[in-house]
Amino acid sequence: MKDCTPGRIGNEAMNSIAYIIIQLIVTLLAAPLVGGLIKKVKALTQKRKGAPVLQMYFDLYKLLQKTSVVSEVSSWIYKAAPYIVFATALAGALLVPVSTKIVPVLIPGDFIMLVSILALGRFFMMAAALDTASTFGGMGSSREAMISSLIEPSILVALFTVGLLSGSTSLPRMMQTVQVTGFPLAHPVYMMVGLALLIIIIAETSRIPVDDPSTHLELTMVHEAMILEYSGRHLALLEYGAAVKQLVFITLFVNLFIPHDQLIPFMGFGAVILSLLLYLLKVVLMAVVIALIEVNTVKFKLFSIPNLAALSFILAFLGILQFFILGGYHV
Amino acid sequence: MSENLLETLSVLILLSSFVLMANKRISSYIKSFRIQSLLIALAAGVMGVRSLLDEGRWDIMIVCILIVVLKVIYIPGLLNRTYASVRYKVEKDFILNIPILVLVCCGLVVFSYFTLATIDGSSQGMSNMQLVNSVSVIWIGLFFMISRKKALGQIIGFLVIENGLYITAMLATQGMPFIVDLGIFIDLVTFVLIMGMLTFRMNDQFDSIDTDQLNNLKG
């Protein structure tokens, strides 16, 4: 982007900008859908009719119409946190390509950056929950701090393993390597890392064994306790940010472990559309899988969460160990 | 294809011993042991089909059926019956907490990787990976045995050591002589019968199968 006069922008830069826009639109539009799908599948397994799949869009629209009430003892952190959380979720979404046909070359960055960006958002969310000195906020942020510090090592180890296999820490490169691997989940290293990432997704997106997203019960809530004080526009941004973050993790999983782009032989605009449709199909599948896991497990008590975190760390660690035992050769 | 299946199975067997180490209740020890034996039977089945197609040998298939009958059905059933007839006050019977035990197991896998990496004849790649995984199962079984206080947990630990030895021998030699397999099985059944009987006796005498209480017998 050295030369910004119209008509002089290179074809590649134009493509990148188009890809960034496509990426943002897909992520923003699809993110609330995932939550709706998970709720719908859960309702159907319980023989209920459930809320419509698009319920979260209506909720966000309604919340955006309302004014937000801000406590007068709160500081700037309280007002800035929703924007920061939403912005970090969006930045995370830009780092994880929704499809390897769409890789914005303008954005450098790798998974370490992704993890740190999401950690920044989480930090501000915890700080904001402490800010108004409500009892639930403090409780929620202390729980969140515990869970995130337990889960973070396994994210890093799991992604490092895939990075070692592909020889690069950049997420698009990792996904492009997986495209030629065949069926990755049959490979021992990928299998371990995939299982670890599944646990990480569940813990990071506040799903049932770790946190119950649908209740406001004092004993169980973690994420909900932190955003209990918010209302109106701020609440909408926080909910939307959480949905985008959930989609980021699901995208990471499906694109690393269920590659689809080798099915599309031709290049060009049609390939991009087809690739995006396949991507959405995979996200829907993953949402159904997460819903089924959620239906079939019970909420763990808080002090059992270290066991789950240890399990995901061990899976990731065994993955990296199998990589070294295999002699570090590329699949 | 069969190599790929075997390597995946060997990783799953290793994982099942981690799951066993993370279990809290004796009924779930027995369940995990049953799953591990089922995975070993699958590995034997894969090798058996391969040797049947390549060389026309039936013995590994028979071994596979024996594993299913003994380790998947008979021994877990026997342990379940022993467990049902033993009175328990407290189920928690491990010496450290679960995450630490499991992290130590990670260390054991690293240890066996470093000890086996330099062995001549175990080349880089698949066979080495299967060897490291199955030797790690032996170590984890041993560690399971010393980390549990109740007699039933220690029996399961021994059985896991035996599973590890068996899968090591099977993956390293591509099928042992049939008579050796039979000998191992007969040993195993005898061991489990004797240990089950001893557990009954301990329960009769001490009203508990906590082996720590055997220390009271010291003069």
B15-74 pLDDT, tens digit per residue, is 999 999 988 888 889 999 999 999 999 999 998 898 889 888 888 888 899 999 999 999
* Total beta-carbon pairs less than 8 A apart between chain A and chain B: 58
The Cα B49–Cα B53 span in angstroms is 6
Using a CB–CB cutoff of 8 Å, tell me whether B1 touches chain A: no
Best residue of A157, A198, A321, A329 to probe chain B, by most B CBs closer than 10 Å: A321
> Cβ of A191 and B11 within 8 Å?
yes
pLDDT at B124 over 60: no
Q: Given this model, what pLDDT does residue A5 score?
A: 47
Which residues, at least 6 apart from B18, have a Cβ–Cβ distance to it below 8 Å? A314, A318, B102, B105, B140
As for the ipTM of the complex, it is 0.82
**Better-predicted residue by pLDDT, B205 or B187:** B187
Q: What is the dihedral of CA A56, A59, A64, A66, to 10 degrees?
A: -160
Per-residue pLDDT of chain A (331 residues; tens, 9 = 90+): 444 444 455 777 787 888 888 888 999 999 999 989 999 999 999 999 988 999 999 999 999 999 988 988 889 999 999 999 999 999 999 888 888 877 777 777 789 999 999 999 999 999 999 998 888 899 999 999 999 999 999 999 999 999 988 888 888 888 888 888 777 888 888 889 999 999 999 998 888 888 887 788 888 888 888 988 899 999 999 999 999 999 999 999 999 998 887 777 776 778 888 889 999 999 999 999 999 999 998 888 888 888 889 889 999 999 998 888 876 554 4
Lowest mean pLDDT among A131-145, B115-129, B158-172: B115-129
pLDDT confidence tier of residue B122, bands split at 50, 70 and 90: low
pLDDT tens, position by position, B85-99: 876 655 667 888 888
Write the residue in A187, A317, A325 that is nearest to B106 by C-beta: A317
Q: So what's the pLDDT on residue B7?
A: 85
Contact list, B15 vs chain A (CB under 8 Å):
192, 315, 318
B residues 110-149 closer than 8 Å to A (CB): 110, 113, 124-126, 128-129, 132-133
Residues 6+ apart with CB under 8 A from B72: B34, B37, B38, B41
Say yes or no for a CB contact (<8 Å) between A310 and B109: no
Closest-CA distance of chain A to residue B67, Å: 24
pTM of the prediction?
Answer: 0.87
Q: Cα-flanking dihedrals φ and ψ of residue B120, to 5°?
A: -70, 145
Inspect the interface and report whether the beta carbons of A188 and B103 lie closer than 8 Å: no
Among A192, A311, A325, the residue with its CB nearest the CB of B132 is A325
Residues in B touching A324 (Cβ below 8 Å):
113
Helices assigned H by DSSP within A52-166: 55-65, 76-95, 111-131, 135-166
Using CB atoms, pick whichever of A188, A309, A329 lies closest to residue B11: A188
The residue of A154, A325, A326, A330 whose CB has the most chain B CBs within 10 angstroms, and thus the best one to mutate to test that interface, is: A325
Contact between A310 and B102 using a beta-carbon 8 Å cutoff = yes
pLDDT in tens, B132-162: 899 999 999 999 999 988 888 888 999 999 9
Chain A residue nearest residue B16, CA to CA:
A315
Which residue does chain B place closest to A195, by CA atoms? Answer: B15
**What pLDDT score does B94 carry?**
80
Give the model's pLDDT for residue A304.
86
What is the DSSP annotation of A184-237? GGGSHHHHHHHHHHHHHHHHHTT-TTT--TT---TTT-SHHHHTTT--HHHHHH
Closest CA to A314 of A152, A202, A196, A209: A196
* Token pair belonging to A261: 């782009």
Q: Give the pLDDT band of residue B123 (cuts 50, 70, 90).
A: low
Q: B104 in contact with A at a CB cutoff of 8 Å?
A: no
Q: Nearest 5 degrees, angle CA A283-CA A284-CA A286?
A: 65
